[in-house]
Structure formats: C-alpha cells, structure tokens
C-alpha cells in the first residue's frame, strides 16, 4: 500500500539539532501517586527495565574525500607541487542500535547511521564503550548490522511484526540528539507505508510515538518489550517531531540481518518481467473492466515469469492474494520476499482470470575483473547494471568491488561508483567497458557518477 504526502521534508532520524530548554511549572514536576483508590497506577517502567539495556548509542566517523577540479588535474598538481592524494574531511554521525544477539554481539541499526563509516563506536547503557565492526549494510532497505565483542550483553526478543494491528500500543526507545536512552509511547497509526525516503524496498510501520533526530536505528517495541520495528525516519515540515514516524518492521529487518550475517550482502530475487502501470486509457485499449494491476510488456527468456506462462499483454492483478495497483508495488514485493519464495500471481490472460506460481530467483549479473581491462584497474570488479537500475534510466557499469590497496582506491574510486565514461568515450554498459581490453591510454581517466554529480577519477 502506498500513499502520497504533501511536500514536507522526510528526515532521517540521525542528525544533531539545537535544544532549547523550557522551564516546567511546579505542578508539572510533581510526582504522581503510586495508587489511586487502592489500585496501582499503570506504568511501563517494569517492561522498560528489560528493554533499555538492549538499546545502544552509536557514534560513527566517515572520511569523505574533498574533490576540487584543480586538484584533480595532474598538470596543475605538478606545476604547484601539490600532493597527489585527495584531501578529505571527517563527518560524524550519531544514532541508535538494538542488540538482538547477546552471545555474538550483533546489533541492528540503520544503513544511514553506519553505512560507509570508517570508525564505529558503541556505548552501552552501563557506560561501557566498544569499537564495532561492520557486518554488512543494505541501502535498499536502510538496514545494517554491526558487531561488538563484549560480555554481559542483554538482547531484545524479536516479535512477529505481521501480527501488528493499527491501534496497537508501541514504545520508541533511542538516543535522540545524543542524549541517553529516551522513551516515548504511542500507537501504530498505519501499516505497509511505502513511497517514502530513499530506500527502494519499503513496508514501513507508521507511529505517532515521538521519533527525533538520533533515534535512527532505535527500537520500536510492543507492550511485552519485544522488538517490532527499527525506527528510521520522521515526516516533518520543521525538523522536529509532529507525530508521524516510520519504522522498519522487525520481520523485514530480521530477514535482511540473516542474509547480511551469512553473506555480507542481500541477495534479491526477480520474476524476470517488465511491466507498466495500467492507466484508464490503457484499460480501455485492453478492454479491461478495471484500471488496477500492471500490464506485462516483456518477459526474459528462461525467467520464472516465462516458466509460469506469462506473456506480453497479460495483466497481473494480484500478488500472494493482495491486489496489485502499480509497478512499484510489484518491485517492492520482489525486493522484500526472500530468494526461493513461491509467488502466486493473479493474471488476466486473454480476458480470463487465472492464478500462476513463480519462484523468485537471483538476477544473474555479468562482471569482469578490472585487471583484464587495464593493469591499473587491478583490484576492481565491474558489474553490469541490474534491471531495476536500467529501468530508472541509468547506464554505465558499476564498480562493485574495490580493493583498499589498489591504485583505483588510492585515486578515489569506491565500491558502488557508477562508471559512465573513460576519457572522452561514453560507457553505456559492461560490454562497452570490455572493449577497453588491449587499449592502454597514457592517462586513465574514469568518468564517475555519484550522488554529488559526475567527476573524473584519474588513475596513475
């Protein structure tokens, strides 16, 4: 289920902010009575005694290279005697995390809290501090796993988030603004939210429990003290909490965590089909009685979709019994279901309704060792773009792996960079990059695209 909000900013709950202290009147500071009419006052304190030790503070530092067109020019550097190494600055981030395995020290948090960090420090409720190692991150769901080696840890039990209902009471625990554990309460406002933020696969829990900057990666728990979600972002026109927060469901976070621990990355499956949203005009052209669903525009040879009998022109109306309204919902389902899952699709074929089954299989992406292209690219692995990336209009080849001690790493190439050109030659796919084999330009200049635009990476 997706929805659209007015154009107010969504903010990841992991930044610092300025706090203004407000004096409270004396009446508001008065302690509440322990009992009223002989009945004990309800309190979350007993439950929170078991929850808060499992919620940690995470501080990370990331070294970011500062690019300058003059410093990137080797002639300019040589003329002025400037060092070849790029300059850098250090960015700091504060967030939260949840211990989910006390014996092995595994901690769930957000990718935007620790992704790309060079130094991660975890502070426990008892004041102990440990250096953490990054087990793996998944930017597509904004989930990350880090690990510490410590004794006497307390983990949080994980609940089945699919059992949540709108109206259930929940409690958010984290370290907003870098403060020690802070607790807020509310209810589940909505389920299955998507179309928010930057993560590609979304199934958010919406809650009115206050989530503020620094809460990212913290725990959303039920009244039994079980983890039902990982707090990740707020909807806010001003940067502060307005009662609309979002958390990643514990089921999704747990599935991602298991893959990150086992493989260091997440393997996602695909049905192997291309599709298009059905508009009223397309519905009329196809003679459809309804304008929901997606129309199949292409089927990959040998794909699960082809084996299930899908053909261009078919209309997919439901997935696992749930009505399908858009291509985004179909891609979301592909990205969130585990590889090997059997997917049941409701299909209109020739105007007749039927149900077919398909098994999600990993998308096979071709790759090549950079050393085969040019010795200066040793230590780099280039991979073709996924179907999803191509559907978004992207082109080029991805530097999927870059060894830290390689020439490319020293020049500033990082894993995940998109190479769209070499010198003055445009690179649209991996095949064009392969054509570099045997060509030895005196100066190897890769044109790289990232979130900040395009720039040259000059490899000596």
pLDDT attached to residue 107? 94
216 part of the active site: yes
Query: Band of the pLDDT at 381, cuts 50, 70, 90?
Result: very high
pLDDT attached to residue 26? 38
Say which residue, 7 or 50, is predicted with more confidence: 50
Is the pTM higher than 0.75? The answer reads no
Mean pLDDT of 304-320: 89
Would you say residue 16 has pLDDT above 60?
no
pLDDT attached to residue 149? 94
180 part of the active site: no
pLDDT attached to residue 5? 40
Would you say residue 99 has pLDDT above 60?
yes
Would you say residue 163 has pLDDT above 80?
yes
Report the share of the chain in percent with pLDDT over 90.
17
Mean pLDDT of 127-151: 91
pLDDT attached to residue 78? 57
pLDDT attached to residue 176? 59
| Active-site residue (options: 59, 60, 96, 112) | 112
Say which residue, 389 or 106, is predicted with more confidence: 106
429 part of the active site: no
**Quick check: 260 and 138 in contact, CB under 8 A?**
yes
Would you say residue 439 has pLDDT above 70?
no
| Active-site residue (options: 60, 161, 199, 216) | 216
pLDDT attached to residue 241? 59
Domains, the chain: 7-14+43-266 (2.40.10.120), 269-362 (2.30.42.10), 367-459 (2.30.42.10)
pLDDT attached to residue 227? 94
Would you say residue 50 has pLDDT above 70?
yes
Query: Band of the pLDDT at 32, cuts 50, 70, 90?
Result: low
Query: Band of the pLDDT at 4, cuts 50, 70, 90?
Result: very low
Would you say residue 424 has pLDDT above 60?
yes
| Active-site residue (options: 138, 140, 142, 314) | 142
């Amino acid at each position: 289920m997706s929805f659209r909000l007015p154009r107010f900013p969504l903010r990841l709950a992991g930044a610092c902010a300025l706090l203004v202290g407000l004096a409270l009147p004396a009446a508001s500071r008065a302690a509440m009575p322990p009992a009223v009419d002989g009945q004990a006052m309800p309190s979350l304190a007993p439950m929170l005694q078991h929850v808060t030790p499992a919620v940690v503070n995470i501080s990370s530092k990331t070294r970011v290279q500062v690019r300058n067109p003059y410093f990137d020019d080797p002639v300019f550097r040589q003329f002025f005697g400037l060092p070849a190494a790029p300059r850098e600055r250090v960015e700091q981030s504060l967030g939260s995390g949840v211990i989910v395995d006390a014996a092995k020290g595994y901690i769930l948090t957000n990718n935007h809290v620790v992704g790309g960090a060079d130094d991660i420090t975890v502070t426990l409720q008892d004041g102990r501090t440990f250096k953490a190692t990054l087990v793996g991150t998944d930017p597509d769901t904004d989930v990350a796993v880090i690990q510490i080696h410590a004794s006497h840890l307390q983990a949080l039990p994980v609940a089945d988030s699919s059992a949540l209902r709108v109206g259930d009471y929940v409690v958010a625990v984290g370290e907003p603004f870098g403060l020690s554990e802070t607790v807020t309460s509310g209810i589940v406002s909505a389920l299955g939210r998507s179309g928010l933020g930057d993560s590609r696969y979304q199934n958010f829990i919406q809650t009115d429990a206050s989530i503020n900057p620094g809460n990212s990666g913290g725990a959303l728990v039920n009244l039994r003290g079980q983890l039902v979600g990982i707090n990740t972002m707020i909807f806010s026109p001003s940067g502060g909490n307005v009662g609309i927060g979002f958390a990643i469901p514990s089921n999704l976070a747990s599935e991602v965590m298991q893959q990150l621990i086992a493989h260091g990355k997440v393997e996602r499956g695909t049905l192997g089909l291309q599709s298009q949203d059905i508009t009223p005009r397309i519905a009329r052209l196809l003679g459809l009685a309804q304008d929901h669903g997606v129309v199949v525009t292409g089927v990959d040879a040998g794909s699960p979709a082809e084996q299930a009998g899908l053909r261009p022109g078919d209309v997919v109306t439901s997935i696992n019994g749930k009505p399908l309204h858009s291509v985004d919902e179909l891609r979301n389902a592909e990205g969130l279901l585990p590889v090997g899952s059997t997917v049941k699709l409701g299909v209109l074929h020739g105007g007749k309704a039927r149900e077919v089954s398909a098994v999600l299989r990993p998308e096979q992406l071709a790759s090549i060792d950079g050393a085969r292209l040019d010795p200066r690219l040793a230590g780099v692995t280039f991979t073709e773009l996924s179907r999803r990336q191509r559907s978004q209009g992207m082109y080029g080849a991805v530097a999927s792996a870059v060894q830290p001690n390689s020439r490319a790493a020293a020049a500033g190439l990082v894993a995940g960079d998109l190479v769209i050109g070499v010198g003055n030659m445009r690179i649209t796919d991996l095949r064009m990059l392969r054509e570099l084999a045997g060509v030895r330009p005196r100066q190897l200049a890769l044109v790289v695209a990232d979130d900040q635009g395009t720039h040259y990476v000059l490899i000596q």
